[in-house]
């Protein structure tokens, strides 16, 4: 049995090429074949957000605190709150992050396909974020 103890991994800043604003990624994990699960606890300060991205097998977000926004391409932006569970369809371009007035923390779970869990794209513009 593997246990990842709270505090056993140093939090890392979300890379500026994939995030806008202050984002911290904690307790990242992944499993070796034949398992495919990977995940992390992601903290978005107010106004912070991910870049557009997709996941080959989809992604599940579990909001553990705060209020955020989630948007799939071609669909309206949706508010997400503590306790909400969001499923992003496989290969569907989307972004998520905190609202301008509230931080948001979620657990992100995704599965690897051929060793890949995410495809990053361009950053979300202020117009896209606020629109």
Could you tell me the domains of the chain?
14-130 (2.60.120.10)
The two most distant CA atoms of the chain are separated, in Å, by 46
Read off the pLDDT of residues 50-74 as tens digits, 9 standing for 90 and up: 999 999 999 999 999 999 999 999 9
Q: 28 pLDDT band (50/70/90 cuts)?
A: confident
CA distances for 24 relative to 50, 71, 78, 95, 114, angstroms = 11, 20, 22, 16, 26
- The pTM score is 0.92
């Amino acid at each position: 049995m593997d246990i990842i103890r709270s505090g056993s991994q140093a939090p890392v800043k979300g890379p500026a090429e994939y995030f806008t604003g202050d984002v911290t990624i904690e307790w990242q994990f992944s499993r070796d074949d034949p398992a495919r699960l990977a995940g992390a606890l992601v903290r978005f300060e107010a106004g912070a957000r991910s870049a557009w991205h997709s996941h080959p097998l989809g992604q599940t977000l579990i909001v553990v605190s705060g209020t955020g926004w989630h948007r799939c391409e071609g669909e309206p932006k949706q508010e997400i709150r503590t306790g909400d569970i969001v499923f992003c369809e496989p290969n569907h371009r989307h972004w998520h992050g905190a609202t301008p007035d509230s931080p948001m923390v979620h657990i992100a779970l995704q599965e690897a396909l051929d060793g890949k869990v995410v495809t990053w794209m361009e950053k979300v513009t202020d117009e896209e974020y606020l629109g």
